[in-house]
């Protein structure tokens, strides 16, 4: 009789955390649950809830976490948690790893099927590097470095690099945000936590579009992302303006990343936002901004661009990382 060997995988974000158990031999997902991150004081408390008193012995574990990982420690950028690999090993009594959530996402892409993607641009793929950009609670970026045999996910904190405007409205937007921030990063504009709210207030406060009491009331309960999406789909001018600008900014920074990575094999769009606003992502504004890089327009027009639809990609990648680095057969 064969006994199942388990891998524990986690995808910890500022808003939600996905936890899953996998078959260590096949990487088949056996169980998954989603938690509100802020409902727990730390990861061990969440793990206790996940296991529910079960005495499951894991062969290895890997947690992808939304923040920089230094010496096996991650301080979550948009959550008051710290996750330590050494504490996780002690808690689970097995090999355990903590990696950046985009590194986990990058590792998961190889396990996806064609139905897990929505192609925005077919391009002409060439064997080589790829890249991943992911707007959710924050903005994550990752280079998928081709070593001649496989892609190695190289995490970064590129979402916190300085925002650079590309048109007069962008210049005004930067000046507007400088009233609040000494440093304006791309995450301040391309993320669920900040982006939609900042863009809405910019368009309203500068008189570019009339504000909406109904939209603001919904944003107070559901957040600006959900409110903007709903009212943009209904044709409200300020919501349409915000959505179009958000998508264009997303495309512009995706193009920047594709250039920095020399992503001949593709640019992947992860995170929870893109699948929810897929209609707007496909209208052309994203790709127009993506390729608008002067002399390198023709290069970027050849880069395949796809939205990842599978929200469990980071879990899959964390499980794959655990199996590989724990040397499990």
- State residue 55's pLDDT score: 80
So what's the pLDDT on residue 175?
A: 98
Q: Quick one: average pLDDT of 90-109?
A: 95
Measure Cα distances from 173 to 151, 170, 191, 212 in Å: 37, 5, 16, 20
Domain 158-308: give its CATH architecture: 3-Layer(aba) Sandwich (3.40)
What are the boundaries of each domain within the chain?
A: 6-109+312-325, 158-308
pTM: 0.93
Look at the domain 6-109+312-325 and name its fold.
Answer: Nucleotidyltransferase; domain 5 (3.30.420)
For position 76, what pLDDT does the model report?
A: 87
Tell me the percentage of the chain whose pLDDT exceeds 90. Answer: 91
The average pLDDT across 89-108 equals 95
Q: How many helices (H) and strands (E) does the chain have?
A: 13, 14
Residue in the structure block whose two tokens are 């496909």: 282
Task: Classify residue 216 as exposed, middle or buried by CB count within 10 Å of its CB (0-12, 13-18, 19+).
Answer: middle
Q: Determine the Cα–Cα distance for residues 48 and 20; give it in Å rounded to an integer.
A: 13
Say what the pLDDT of residue 329 is.
74
What digits encode the pLDDT tens for the residues 127-174? 999 999 999 989 999 999 999 999 999 989 999 999 999 999 999 999
β-pairing, 58-65 with 69-70?
unpaired
Beta-sheet strands, E only, within the chain? 6-12, 16-23, 29-36, 58-65, 69-70, 73-75, 82-84, 96-100, 117-121, 130-135, 139-146, 151-155, 266-270, 305-308
Kindly tell me if the per-residue pLDDT of 1 is higher than 50: no
pLDDT tens, position by position, 182-193: 999 999 999 999
Q: What is the pLDDT of residues 276-313, one digit of tens each?
A: 999 999 999 999 999 999 999 999 999 999 999 999 99
What pLDDT digit, counting tens, does each position of 177-220 carry? 999 999 999 999 999 999 999 999 999 999 999 999 999 999 99
Q: Report the sign of the C-alpha dihedral through residues 136, 236, 227, 172, in that order.
A: positive
Between CA 237 and CA 310 the distance in angstroms is 31
Closest among 238, 287, 241, 166 to 174, alpha carbons compared: 166
Q: Mean pLDDT in the chain? A: 95
């Amino acid at each position: 009789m064969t006994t199942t060997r388990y891998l524990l995988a986690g995808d910890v974000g500022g808003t939600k955390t996905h936890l899953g158990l996998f078959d260590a031999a096949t990487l088949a997902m056996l169980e998954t649950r989603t938690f509100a991150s802020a409902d727990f004081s730390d990861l061990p408390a969440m793990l206790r809830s996940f296991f529910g008193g079960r005495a499951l012995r894991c062969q290895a574990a890997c947690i992808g976490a939304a923040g920089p990982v230094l010496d096996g420690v991650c301080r979550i950028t948009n959550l008051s948690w710290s996750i330590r690999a050494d504490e996780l090993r002690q808690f689970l009594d097995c090999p355990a790893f903590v990696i950046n959530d985009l590194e986990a996402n990058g590792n998961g892409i190889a396990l996806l099927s064609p139905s897990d993607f929505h192609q925005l641009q077919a391009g002409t793929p060439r064997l080589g590097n790829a890249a991943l950009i992911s707007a959710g609670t924050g903005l994550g970026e990752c280079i998928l470095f081709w070593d001649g045999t496989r892609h190695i996910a190289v995490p970064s904190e590129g979402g916190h690099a300085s925002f650079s405007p590309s048109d007069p409205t962008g210049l005004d937007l930067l000046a507007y945000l400088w009233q609040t921030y000494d440093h304006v990063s791309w995450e301040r504009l391309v993320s669920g936590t900040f982006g939609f709210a900042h863009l809405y207030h910019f368009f309203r406060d500068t008189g570019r579009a009339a504000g909406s009491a109904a939209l603001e009331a919904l944003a107070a309960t559901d957040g600006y992302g959900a409110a903007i999406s709903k009212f943009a789909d209904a044709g409200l001018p300020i919501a349409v303006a915000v959505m179009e600008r958000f998508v264009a900014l997303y495309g512009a920074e995706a193009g920047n990343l594709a250039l920095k990575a020399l992503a001949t094999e593709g640019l992947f769009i992860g995170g929870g936002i893109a699948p929810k606003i897929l209609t707007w992502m496909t209208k052309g504004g994203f790709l127009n901004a993506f390729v608008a890089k002067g002399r390198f327009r023709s290069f970027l027009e050849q880069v395949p661009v796809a939205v990842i639809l599978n929200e469990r990609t980071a879990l899959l990648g964390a499980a794959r990382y655990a199996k590989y680095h724990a040397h499990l057969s």
